[in-house]
Structures are given as C-alpha cells and as structure tokens.
Chain A
Amino acid sequence: MSNIREINPELKNKLDTASGPQYWRSLQEIAGSEEFQEYLHREFPENASEWIDPVSRRNFLKIMGASLALAGLTACTKQPEEKIVPYVRQPEELIPGRPLFYATAMTIGGYANGLLMENQMGRPIKAEGNPDHPASLGATDVFGQASILSMYDPDRSQSTTNIGNISSWTEFFQILNLRMKIEKQRPSPGSGFRLLTETITSPSLANQIRELLKTLPGAKWHQYESLNRDNAMEGARLAFGEPVETLYKLDQADVVLSLDADFMSHNPGHLRYIRDFISRRKVRSGADNSKMSRLYVLESTPSITGAVSDHRLPLRSTHILEFAKAIAAGLGIGGSSTYSHPWVAPLVRDLQAHKGASIVIAGEYQPPELHAIAHAINGALGNNGKTVIYTDPVAAEVVNQQNSLRQLITDMHSGTVDTLVILGGNPVYNAPSDFNVADALSKVSLRIHLSMDHNETSNLCHWHIPETHFLESWGDARAFDGTVSLIQPLIAPLYEGSKSAYEIIAALNGISATKPHDMVHDYWKSQTSQADFERFWEKALHDGVVPNTASAVKNVTAKTNFTGYTAGPKEDSSFELIVRPDYNTYDGRFANNGWLQELPRPLTKITWDNVALISPTAAKKLELENEDVVELKLNNHAVKAPVWIMPGQAENSVTIHLGYGRKLAGHVGNNVGFNAYQLHTSNSTWNTPGLSVTKVSGHYPLSTTQEHHVMEGRDIVRSHSLEEYLKHPHEKEHEELTSLYPPYEYKGYAWGMAIDLNSCVGCNACVVACVAENNIPVVGKSEVKRGREMHWIRIDRYFEGSMDAPRIHHQPVPCMQCENAPCELVCPVNATNHSSEGLNDMVYNRCVGTRYCSNNCPYKVRRFNFFLYSDLKTPSIQLGRNPDVTVRTRGVMEKCTYCVQRINQARIDSEKEDRKIKDGEIVTACQQACPAEAIVFGDINDKESKVSKLKADQLNYALLEELNTKPRTTYLANVRNLNPEITTKAQNEH
C-alpha cells in the first residue's frame, strides 16, 4: 500500500487524519471521490504487492471494506447536496412516516407534465399531478404514474461501460477530451462531431448546446425521436409558412371534430385536454345540460377518444384527408371535393352552427396536408384565437426530425462523422427501419450513448454512460403551452456515476465535473432580471412552474389552397397498415416497466404483447381468429404478428403498435411482442396502403384481462342520449329496494365514492396509480392468462351494437365497499369485516386464503395472491414501495380499500387539530390521478360534500343494485349528445 500513499497523497491524508465517526465519513468521501473510483478500476496487481507491509494491510482492508460496502448502490438514500425545495414543508421538518411533496416535471416527447412527488424518508414513492401546472391540473397519465418503477428498475445501467467493460467517468472524460481537442483543431472546428438528441424543450439545456455549437461551428445537432411532431410542424408550415404550436381550448368548444386525432393520449397537452373536454360533458341535475359538447371522431382504429365520442366513424386512414377536404368544401374553402359520405353534410351544419366554438383537430399521425386542411377549416369557422390558439413552437429547435436523422445517416455513411454523442433515445431500435442506423453507426469511430439502460443503441456504441432518471436530476422543461417547469431531484442518483445531459455537454466543452444544479440555476439567473433571484428560484421550485412563461398567442392565418393535397392512391380494396405508438410502452422506452406491460391496453385489454388489430369483417374474409398468426408484408418488409379482432376497426385497416420486440430492454421487456418498427419506414411511417396479410400456421397465446366484451343485455353501463335525458329530467336511475331490516345507522364519517361514467375516458391512469400507491405486484404474462392479474381497480370495456361500428363503454370497477357485503358473510376467519365508517376492511394478517369471499363477490373485485407475487428480494424495488401499505404475501386476498391509509392519515391529522375532516381532504389514488375527475370520494353523511351531491343526482345508480349489496361506490350514467341527423343502427341507445 506504499504505492497508494505515493500516488494519492490526498487519500493518505484523509485516511490518516481522520478518526472516530469522522473516519467513516471520510472513507465514504474517499470512496466517492473520482480519484478513488479510478483507482479501483485499475488493474489489481498493484494492491497485491502490498500484503507484506502489515500497516498497509490494515489500510488496504479499510479501503477495500469501504468500497465493498459502497459498491453498487451509494449509501441508502441521500438528499441531493444542493437545496431542493419541498412543496409543502421545509426539509427540516422531515418526520419519519410522514411524506413530503416536491414539485418537479416529467417530460415525454420533450413536453413537460408537472408532477408532485411524494417522498417518504428521502425516497420518492408516488407521483401525483401538480394542480398548479397548466398541462396536468393535478392529473397524471400512465407514464407519470409508472415513472417511479422506471427509477427503481433493477435493470437500469449502473456504471459507465466501454465496449461492455466497466469503466469510469474519468476514463471516459480523458478519451472524450482528447477527441474534442482533435475536433476543435479541424479547419472547420467540430466538422466531424455530431450530437443526436431527442426533442429538447429545456431552455437551459438548449442554451448549453447552442453555446457548445458556437465553439464547434462545423458540428451539427440532430434531433430524432420516433414519436415526433413532424406531421404537425410540417402541416403548420404548409398552412402558415412557419412551424407553430397548436393549442386547443376544449372547454370552450361546443363541437369537436377529431380527424384521427387521439387527443386524449397522443398530444402534448392530452391531460389538460381531457380535463377541459370532459368539463363540458358533466351532465348534472339542475344544471343547464343543453350546453353539453358534442364530439365526432373519425379514425381507422378505436382509440379512447373515439370511445368517448358521441359519433364515431371507422374510416380508412387514407380517406380521412378526403373527408376533411369534403368538409372544407362544405364550408366553402379549398375548392370542390368528389368525396361523399352521409356524415359530411350534418357535420358541416353542426360546425357552422358553432362558429368560434368548435374545434377541428388533425391527428398526430396523419400527414401534414391534413393538418393544413384542419387549420384552414378552423380559420374558416372563426375558431382561431378562441378555441384554437397558435403559439411559437415549444421545442427549443424545431426541425423535421426524420430529415434530421436522414442527414445524419448520410453523413455517417459518407465517413464525415468521427464523433457521435447520442443523448438518451434509442435510434438503433426506433428509427425508421430503412435508415438502418446500426449499419451507419459502424462507420463512426467514436460513439457515445447516454441512457438509463444499456439498450440496443448502447450496445453498438463504444461508451455508455448511465443517465440519471428525471427524479434524480436537475433540469427544466416546457409544457405544451410553453410554461416552464423546473425539474428538481427527489433523491441523489441511486447509482453513483449516473450523469445527466448537462454533464455530457459540459464534458464536450472540456469540463469534467459539473453541477447540473448550477447550470440550471445560473441559466435562469441570467434570464431573469429579478432583484431577488434566490426567492424567485425557491418559489419556482416550490410551485413547480415558472410564472409567466406560457407562450404568447400568435396571430396567423391558414392558407386555403389545397392543390396537391392528397393522401396517396385512392384505392380502398387493399389492406392499409396503420402504425401507432403503444398506449403503454409508448415508443418502446417503457418496455421494461412491469406496471405498464401488465396494464391492459385500453381497448383490447391485452397485456404483455402487441398484436395486429383487424376488423371483424376482414377476419371473416381471411378466416382468422384471435391468436392466429399472420404475416404482414409491406414493400419488402415483413413481420409476423398475432391477430386480434377489433370491433370498430375500419374494414381494411390493420393496426400494429410500436414499442415491442425488443432484445435489450431488460428482464421484463425482452422478447415481449413483435417489433413493429420493421414495418415503420421513412416513406411508410404511419398509414400506408398496399399491405399484404397472409395467415401462417401457428397459434400465439395472448393474455387479456377481459375475455367477454358485451353486456349480454344486462344493465351494467347505463347510457342515455342527451335528448332522452332532457325530456325526462326527473326520472331517477336508482330504484329503492325494500328490506325487512332497518337500515344500519352510520354515525360519524361514512365513506362513499361516485364514478361518473360520462367522464371516464378509459385512460388507465387510475389503474397504475392504484398499483403504485398500494404496492400491487406484477404477475407476468402466463399468470395474467390464467386470470390472476392483481389490479385492484379495473376498467371494464364493453362494446354495444354492431361490431363493425360499436358504441364503446368504459367502466372503472374498484371494490364497491358494499354495506351488505356478500364477502363478509362467508369468510370463515373474519378476515373481512365492515368498519364503522362503512369500509369493507381486508385484514391481510387474518386471511387464510379460502377464496370464498372472491367467489361470493358479484363484482369480482377481489384479488388473490396465488403465489408469492411480491418481489421481496430486489433492493431497489423495495425502496420504491409505499411504506403505508402492507406488502402481501402468498395465500392472502386483497382488494381496493378506498386508500384506507390516506383516510387514516387524514383522520389522525384532523384529530390532532381537533376538527372534522374536510371534504376533498382525502383523495384516493385513483381519484387523484384521473385527468377527467371522474372519481369522487368523500363523506356521504355530509350532505354538502361533492360525493353526496353526485349520489343525489338522478343519473346515480349502483351496479347490480337488485342484489341488495348496497354498494358505497355508485355510478353516474353515461349520456351522449347525439346529432339527430346522424343516426345509424350502431348509435342506438338502450
């Protein structure tokens, strides 16, 4: 060990001068220091020679001991060194067992959604929406809820690697620095350097990149992600001559026409749009319900937006443009149209009747021409500035991302690129398959990839740097309306050595140690002229939004000349291929997230797989049944896929979803599904005719959580037309049942819940929120196939009417907390009892697992641990669990508890403060996540509470009420605002 004293006198100094408790702290410091990390990674023989010296042996053991203890996970949980600002209380008030909430933001596609993260004992365990953030207003989507699991994913990469060997930041920096010096010395500095990122909206990061590019004028910055907004931006260019961001004020719209726009999922503002749109759909006794909005959806494959619509038309994707042109013609713009459909005229009339209060939205995956037409139609309807707002693009640098990547590939092939730094993303997996990124990469001499997992792209790069998760990083980002959120970390990075993009860019500038906090902080200091910047900074961190950063409204006019706008060949006899992102894996980045893989996809209820969706008519024609295998061939690219018959699918459209078939996603995501990217090429990206579908031999088992899709004439989801409702405003849904027994009197609180079926869009946020809140285990594909999925709340999806154009209903079903619970009667050991507040309590410790309660439950909301499903071994998974909720073992029944842990917490707080629990103080996890505010929970003994008012509404009814279970969870019937001019058999109500 004499070497160590010579080589690293600082290390020696630290070791020798420390003593007692300080000693251990300094060891930690030493182990964490860069020099030591580098020392560790050098060859072993150096240490071996030191055994002879007894003193140095002791030193050796001290150092080795420290490193062994600290290898891998660094410390337990450590607050970041910099000051992070909690939402509610100061950090000094950290009380064990009480959560603290911090505001931050999650970006997807670059766009931010504000989050409030619940921190327990220094660990983030639950994501909630930030009520002050314009993009969410307190709601979250499935990705926000599942982000916790992504952070604690044991398959995350934990160390810097160099061609598969563990290396260190120091070594990486050395190599990079040398390379960048060479780059700077070129005649055109940086001409061999390329930077590839995904969409960046972060002002500070964009600024840092621009500063870097100033020093490297020959370098280029490319952006690419597969789910980019090229269509929208090109459409804006066509219509306005420049790219603009289009925002919709759905709460101001009386009529909405969606042209293949699943705006409730695939749109940067989707959470806000759900809230706004649904706010115009809440039908209540005593309110002016004639103001209810009307939604028309034209789409080729069913979406959740389509399910909520009043009128849905399954239409071949490539015909939607023609339809739009016909609408435009009806409104007198864009020339004449030869396309005819019985819906065109009524739609035109309805839109015209609501000028300035209507919206026409073009889908993200429809060609730019359709977007341009939609802009023109909105302009003609006077919606511009009222319900449709245009702003400058939110992305820091707007490029046509497909062209950007294409340019990069060309440069790579021509040998111009020597150094390529890829920040995040996975272009080897998700770029258009004809680009053949893997091949192009091989022409680059130094490839560097920063990402959270060692994925397909990292595999082909020389250097892989582990990326910090957004919950571990500083940053900033912009929401769909331009509002800036600061991203603050909830926890120091789990894996020492994880870096963020800031550090990579700084390294490219020759700085090896950066503090991202400082980068963001200093950037904003330079941007604001605030006198007291620190106060401004703290408030922005506290609130989760930077005030007054929303984009200004732009005044633009759409051109109305549609010459040359066509979607391609106008034949409709061949199959067309529809490629769409998956609701759960997005573009594939969430493939390793068990919560998302196991989450039943909204309309198919399939888990753990992607499929080829086909219409019932086409299936009959090709003699296909579910789980048959077909080969899909398009322009010399072919892929095999299992078939799923999708009611409501356009007749000759076949839909496949991206984000599957990955080989290097991790234990959970590997080899799940087939890789749809093989059919996703640069000239047939989203909707392409000329697909050949051939049945091949084989049977592919698929696991769904719902096997039966019709209500069988049973009175489960009640649905009325608005007309019917307005005619009989006082007719009650709910029938009173007589009983021999006097009703039990609940004194004190009586918890109840009302779920508005007119609000639920089926987005699944509540399901993942419940999983995150209640430590619900993931059971895997084969167990789901057996019928053993563990979700405490499920969303039932029913088709009604003709299977070619059905009405689609969504119904969230949590535990009904029945007052006359059939389950309580039959449990032999009293493991399920009724509390004095009306909850059906499930006592895990007492349950012996006879399953009689589940058999006797008519709603089938109880879930059983047939095996030990909970992972009790993986440390990072244990960190992410909610400590307020028991982790269940094998043989025990579980079910929704109305988030009893939250009820108890509120009761404790109220008793300490000697007051009653206020209405709205207790928010169940499902309620909190819901963007549509469909779930309302509260005290039904309080007649003024929101839930009591909803239960008094005449649309209120209980599911299976004739069984006299007296459920505390009731539903508000669905109402659809039908256009009397459009009546098809499929749209009839019962």
Chain B
Amino acid sequence: MSTEEYKAEEHPVIEPGYTFGSITEKISSIVLTKKTPLGWFIGFGIAFMLLMGLIFTIGLLLFVGVGIWGIMIPVGWGFDIINFVWWIGIGHAGTLISAILLLLRQEWRTSINRFAEAMTLFAVACAGLYPLLHMGRPWLAYWLFPYPNTMAIWPNFKSPLVWDVFAVSTYATVSAMFWFVGLIPDLATLRDRSTNRVGRIIYGMLAMGWRGSTKHWHRYETAYLLLAGLSTPLVVSVHTIVSFDFAVGIIPGWHATIFPPYFVAGAIYAGFAMVLTLAIPIRAVYGLQDFITMRHLQNMAKIMLATGLLVAYGYMMETFTAWYSGNEYEKFMIWNRMTGPYRNMYWALIFCNVLTPNLLWFPKIRNNTIFLFIISIIVSIGMWLERYVIIVVSLSRDFLPSSWGQYHGSPFDWTMFIGTIGLFLTLLFLFVRVLPMISIFEMRTLLPEAEVKHEGEAS
C-alpha cells in the first residue's frame, strides 16, 4: 500500500454503508445470539481454568500465609505490588478513552470506549485483589478505612497506602458508575430486542426503565458529561497516588520526584498496549473491522508511541539525576540496575519499553495488525518489568550492604499472577458474551444522519 493510503485521515472512524439499524443489529446480534460460538467456550474454558488457579492460590494464601510468595526481608514487596501497579496502570487507558477523549470530542473513541472501560473495571478488580491479599492479616483490611470504631483510632492519613485506599476505591466506583451509565441505553436496546425471557427481564432491570425520550436523553447527556469530568482527573490522580507508594519512601530508586508524571505516562502506555492486545483479536474474531478501523488502531499506536517516549524520558532522567546528584546511594542504584544481579531484567526493560515502541514511527508497522499486536504484548511485558525493576531491584540493595538480598518469584507468585490474568479474561469473555462490547447508541451518532446543528457535541 502506498504512503498516501496510510494517512489517518483516509481511514474513516466507521466504514461507510451502515444505517442506524444495521449498526444496532451487528453489535447486538453478537450478544443476543442463541448459539454461543465454540471458540468462546474454548477461550472461556482456558480463562476459567486460570481463574481456578487464582482461587486455589488465594485459598492457600489465606490459610497458610503470605510466605508462600517469594517476599522476604529486604524485599517485602514482590509480585504482589508489581502486579497491583501493573493492573491499575492498565486500567488508565480505558478511563482516558472514555472520559478524556469524550471531553476532547474525539470521535474515534466511540467504538473502543465500551470494552476499554470494561477492561479498566476488570483490571481494577484484578488489581484490587492485591492490596487486600498481600497483607499479612487480610481479614483486618477494613482497618485501612476511616470508619468510626471502638478503638478510637483513625488510619494513618500520612501513609500512601491509605491514599491508595481512597484512590483505588474512588477509581473503582467512578469507573463502574461511568461504565454502567454508559451501558443504559444499550441495555434498553437489548431488552427490546431480546427474544429470551430471562434476558428480557435481566436487561430490563438493568436498563433502569430507559425509554429513550428526549428528557431521558437530556439528563443522560448531562450525567455522562459529569461522570466524564469526574473520571478525567482520576486518570492523572490514581496513578500519581500509586506512584507515591514509592516516591514517599526513602529507598534509592523509589525516592524520586519524577514518579507521578512518569507513572501516569507509563500507565497510559501500558493501558493502550492492553487495549490494542484486546482490540486486535476481538475485531478479527467478531468481524468488527468496520467499526474498529485502522484509524483507531493507528491512533492508539500513536498514543503508545508518545507515552512510550515519555516513559523513556523518565528513565533517562532517573539515570541523569542519579549521576548529577552525586549521592553515592543513588549512583549505586542506577549502576546496580545496569550491572547487578538483575541486569537482565533492566536491559530487557529497555528493549521492551524504549526500543520497541520506536518501531511505531513507521507507518508500515503501525498499519500492520500483527506487528501492532506483538508490539503491544512486548510493551505490556516491558511495563511489568519496569515495576519489577523499580520495586524489587531497589529494595534488594539499599543502604546497608549487610541487608542486601535477592528476591525471586515463587511458584505461587506466578500462579497468582497468571490467575489474575485468568480472572481478567474470564470477566472479559463474560462481558463479550452478555453485553454489547461496542457502544451501540454512540456508534449510531457517527453516521452522517446523526449530525446535529451543534457541531462536535457528543451524541
């Protein structure tokens, strides 16, 4: 294909030839089909098996203790917090697409925002397991909440972990609300189109009595915008708070002011990578290339590239600052990352996060779904490695050499991690089966017929 044909402007947000009805029909038929495709069963089956692994690990963890993981002194946080940060970071893309792109009036958000937001919710669910279960006594996790109690004691509001509680719970609730509110008109559509009695009842209840009247729409738009406004700061704040888990600590490698923007950029980076990882197979399997077009994939790739460069800048600044500070511990920290026992992780990280995204400069690569898919996976791995390097490597060698020690993920660290991937995929498969993975009513607004006097207003 020639360069001209690659230009983004050439790719439509939605392929021509669709009507209101055909859009509705195409998307809702995936959900309302009587016959679930075999592929879905196979995929769901595998995901469910991994979920069982998760349940087993959690059971063992609660029964025996957190020692089944590889954590030790000095590395008190390992896969547990790495995975927490990884999952939370992934969620940020969904919120960005749903909320920020809405406020910025970007039409290309339309076909991806539903499942991106679902991805966020499921990622937050997976992430949320970790702060709860990584505790030595998880049955007392409620002590982190400021509830009136007989001990007359509040949680320690100076601790980043308490900020996490607020940040993540806010994130979860607002994302869930936003997602659900966004679903209402589509749930009504499914209620009206469903031929299954059970389906009609459930969709009906969930649709909250939506009749599509003007008043409904008017209020709906306002609510939607407000929620978008609420969610927008979360994109920046949640991962900033998560980065404070480290930045507030005194450990070299953690105690860095660049962490908030660096983490947020990294989150968006990882998130978009995950959206691509999901979008590419989904559109292929479900034949949604007309709705999720190359324009979407290219835009996402460009955002990945941009945030990838920001992350690379973050690495560079960390290294520069460590040298520039002259502080022996900081200098050693960077030197240790590059040449110490975990250097393989560090260099793999540089490869995955710094070198790989630069392939996205090339339109040929950006337009190739296979490459995009592979790159998105590499970036996901790279972002996981980044958290590993930050958490594990910094802790394993800090101030007193006598305390230095090495952490390695134990088998249960892995089963838990893979188990959360199983949870994520299980939820995703369920989502894809019972809910419209593309926002039907918003897709309809992309058609030329739907244009209203006020340009650029979202639907």
A822 touches B249 (CB 8 A): yes
Contact in complex: A828, B159 (CB < 8 Å): yes
When the two chains form their complex, are residues A860 and B141 in contact, meaning their CB atoms are under 8 A apart? no
If the complex has contacts A710-B401, A713-B328, A849-B137, are A826 and B73 also in contact, measured as CB distance less than 8 A?
Answer: no
A135 in contact (CB, < 8 A): no
Please tell me if B134 contacts chain A, counting CB pairs below 8 Å.
Answer: yes
Asked if B249 and A856 sit within 8 Å, CB to CB, the answer is: yes
B73 touches A864 (CB 8 A): yes
Tell me, rounded to whole Å, the shortest Cβ–Cβ distance linking B342 to chain A. 14
Docked pose: A714 CA to B332 CA in angstroms? 11
How far apart are B297's CB and chain A's nearest CB, in angstroms? 40
What's the nearest-Cβ distance from chain B to residue A709, in Å?
Answer: 8
Residues of B within 8 A of A892 (CB): 136-137
B155 within 8 A of A: yes
B198 within 8 A of A: no
Contact A829 B73 (CB under 8 A): no
Whether B65 contacts A830 by the Cβ 8 Å rule is no
A860-885 CB mask vs B (1 if < 8 Å, else 0) is 10111111100000000000000000
Indicate whether A728 reaches chain B with its CB closer than 8 angstroms: no
Bound CA–CA A854/B75 (angstroms): 9
Q: Say which residue of A826, A827, A863, A866 sits within 8 Å of B71 (CB atoms).
A: A866
Measured in the bound complex, the distance between the Cα atoms of B354 and A819 in whole Å is: 42
Choice from A708, A890, A891 contacting B402 with Cβ under 8 Å: A708
Question: Is the pair B64, A867 in contact by a Cβ cutoff of 8 Å?
Answer: yes
A571: min CB distance to chain B, Å: 39
Q: Is A75 an interface residue (CB 8 A)?
A: no
Q: How far is the CB of A17 from chain B (nearest CB, A)?
A: 55
The CA of A196 and the CA of B141, in the complex, are separated in Å by: 62
* Given A712-B401, A848-B144: A856 touches B66 (CB 8 Å cut-off): no
Please measure, in the bound complex, the distance between the C-alpha atom of A890 and the C-alpha atom of B159, giving whole angstroms: 23
When C-beta atoms are compared, the residue in chain A nearest to B134 turns out to be A850
Please measure, in the bound complex, the distance between the C-alpha atom of A864 and the C-alpha atom of B72, giving whole angstroms.
8
| A794 to B, closest residue via Cβ | B402
Chain B interface bracket (under 10, 10 to 19, 20 to 34, 35 or more): 35 or more
**Are A851 and B136 neighbours in the complex by a CB distance under 8 Å?**
yes
Contact B134 A855 (CB under 8 A): no
Q: Are B251 and A856 in contact (CB under 8 A)?
A: yes
Q: Are A826 and B398 in contact (CB under 8 A)?
A: no
Q: Chain A nearest CB: distance from B83 CB in Å? A: 15
A891 near B66 with CB under 8 A, answer yes
Q: Which residue of B74, B136, B160 contacts A860 across the interface (Cβ within 8 Å)?
A: B74
Contacts known (A798-B402, A830-B156); A849 close to B73, Cβ less than 8 A: no
Q: Does A446 contact B (CB under 8 A)?
A: no
Is B217 in contact with chain A by the CB < 8 A criterion?
A: no
Identify the interface centre among B66, B134, B144, B251: most chain A CB within 10 Å of its CB: B66
Write out the residue numbers on chain A whose beta carbons fall within 8 Å of the beta carbon of B404.
707-708
Within 8 Å of chain B (Cβ to Cβ): is A716?
Answer: yes
> Quick check: A860 and B155 within 8 Å, CB to CB?
no
Give CA–CA (A89, B398) in the complex, Å: 50
Given A714-B401, A858-B399, A960-B399, are A826 and B161 neighbors across the interface (CB < 8 Å)?
yes
Chain A residues with CB under 8 Å of B397's CB are 708
Is A9's beta carbon under 8 Å from chain B?
no
Are B136 and A788 in contact, CB atoms less than 8 angstroms apart?
no
CB–CB A963/B250 < 8 A? yes
B140: A residues at CB distance < 8 A = 829, 848
| Residue A915 is within 8 A (CB to CB) of chain B in the complex | no
Inter-chain contact A891/B72, CB cutoff 8 Å: no
The smallest C-beta distance from A865 to any residue of chain B, in angstroms, reads 7
**Chain B nearest CB: distance from A458 CB in Å?**
36
A856 to B251, CA, bound (A): 7
B76 touches A854 (CB 8 A): yes
Decide if A890 touches B65 in the complex (CB within 8 Å): yes
Closest CB of chain A to B74's CB: distance in Å? 5
A828 touches B144 (CB 8 A): yes
Once the chains are docked, how many angstroms separate the CA of A830 from the CA of B66? 21
Contact of A796 among B251, B332, B402, B406 (CB under 8 A): B402
| CB contact under 8 A between A826 and B159, given known A708-B401, A813-B402 | yes
Q: CA separation between A868 and B64, bound complex, in Å?
A: 8
Q: Which residues in B have their C-beta under 8 angstroms from that of A854?
A: 73-74, 76
Most buried by B among A714, A850, A862: A850
Contact B135 A830 (CB under 8 A): no
Q: What separation, in Å, do the CA atoms of A158 and B333 have in the docked complex? A: 56
B143 on the A face (CB < 8 A): yes
Q: What residue of chain A has the Cβ atom nearest to residue B74's Cβ?
A: A860
B248–A891 CB distance below 8 A: no
Instruction: Provide the main secondary structure of the chain B interface.
Output: loop
Are the C-beta atoms of B250 and A848 separated by less than 8 Å? no
Q: Which residues of B contact A963 (CB under 8 A)?
A: 250, 399
Q: Is A349 an interface residue (CB 8 A)?
A: no
The answer for the CA separation of A267 and B20 in the assembled complex, in Å, is 96
Q: How far is the CA of A822 from the CA of B137 in the complex (A)?
A: 22
Judged by a CB distance under 8 angstroms, whether B41 is at the interface is no
- B155 and A830 contact, CB distance less than 8 A: yes
Bound CA span A829–B249, Å: 17
Residues of A within 8 A of B332 (CB): 712
Residues of A within 8 A of B153 (CB): 830, 846
- CB pair A827–B72 under 8 Å, yes or no, is no
Whether B258 is near chain A, meaning CB under 8 Å from some CB there, is: no
Known A-B contacts A707-B404, A830-B153, A855-B76; the reply to A891 vs B135 at CB < 8 A is yes
Is A787 engaged at the interface, CB distance under 8 Å to the other chain?
Answer: yes
0 or 1 for each of A685-697: is its CB under 8 Å from B? (1 = yes): 0000000000000
A350 to B25 alpha-carbon distance, docked (Å): 102
Interface centre among A716, A794, A826, A867, by most chain B C-beta atoms within 10 angstroms, is A826
Smallest CB–CB gap between A505 and chain B, Å?
Answer: 50
Choose from B73, B131, B143, B156 the contact partner of A787 (Cβ within 8 Å). Answer: B73
Is A864's CB under 8 angstroms from B156's CB?
no
Is B158 engaged at the interface, CB distance under 8 Å to the other chain? Answer: yes
Q: Is A28 part of the binding interface, using a Cβ–Cβ cutoff of 8 Å? A: no
Contacts of A859 in B (CB 8 A): 399-400, 403
Residue A352 at the chain B interface, CB threshold 8 Å: no
Is B136 in contact with A848, judged by CB distance below 8 angstroms?
yes
A204 to chain B, nearest CB (A): 48
Q: Which one of A787, A811, A890, A959 lies within 8 Å of B405 (CB-CB)?
A: A787
Query: Which of A707, A811, A866, A867 has most B Cβ within 10 Å?
Result: A866
A825:B158 contact, CB within 8 angstroms: yes
Cβ < 8 Å to B, chain A residues 783-826: 783, 786-788, 794, 796-798, 811, 813, 822, 825-826
Interface pair A788/B67, CB less than 8 Å apart: yes
The interface residues of chain A lying within 8 Å CB-to-CB of B76 are 851-852, 854-855, 864
B429, CB-defined interface residue at 8 Å:
no
CA distance A830 to B156 in the complex (A): 5
| B251-A829 in contact (CB<8A) | no
Contact flags B225-265 to A (C-beta < 8 A → 1, else 0): 00000000000000000000100111100000000000000
* Beta-carbon contacts under 8 Å, A874-917 to B: 890-893
Tell me if A711 counts as interface (CB < 8 A to partner B): yes
Q: Give the complex CA separation of A57 and B232 in angstroms.
A: 84
Residue A941 interfacial (CB < 8 Å): no
Min Cβ gap A735→B in Å is 15
- Interface-central residue, B159, B328, B400, B402, by most chain A CB under 10 Å: B402
Q: Tell me if A891 and B74 are in contact (CB < 8 A).
A: no
CA distance A706 to B402 in the complex (A): 6
Q: Shortest distance in angstroms between A237's beta carbon and chain B's nearest beta carbon?
A: 46
Q: How far is the CA of A865 from the CA of B324 in the complex (A)?
A: 40
Q: In the A-B complex, list the 7 residue pairs whose CB atoms are closest, starting with the nearest.
A: A849-B136, A891-B136, A866-B67, A787-B72, A851-B76, A860-B403, A796-B402
Apart from A829-B155, A860-B400, what 10 extra A-B contacts exist at CB < 8 Å?
A707-B406, A708-B402, A713-B328, A825-B248, A828-B161, A851-B77, A855-B395, A891-B65, A891-B66, A960-B400
Q: List 8 A-B contacts (CB under 8 A).
A: A797-B402, A798-B402, A851-B134, A855-B251, A859-B403, A864-B76, A867-B64, A963-B250
Interface residues of A (CB under 8 A from B): 706-714, 716, 783, 786-788, 794, 796-798, 811, 813, 822, 825-830, 846-852, 854-856, 858-860, 862-868, 890-893, 959-960, 963
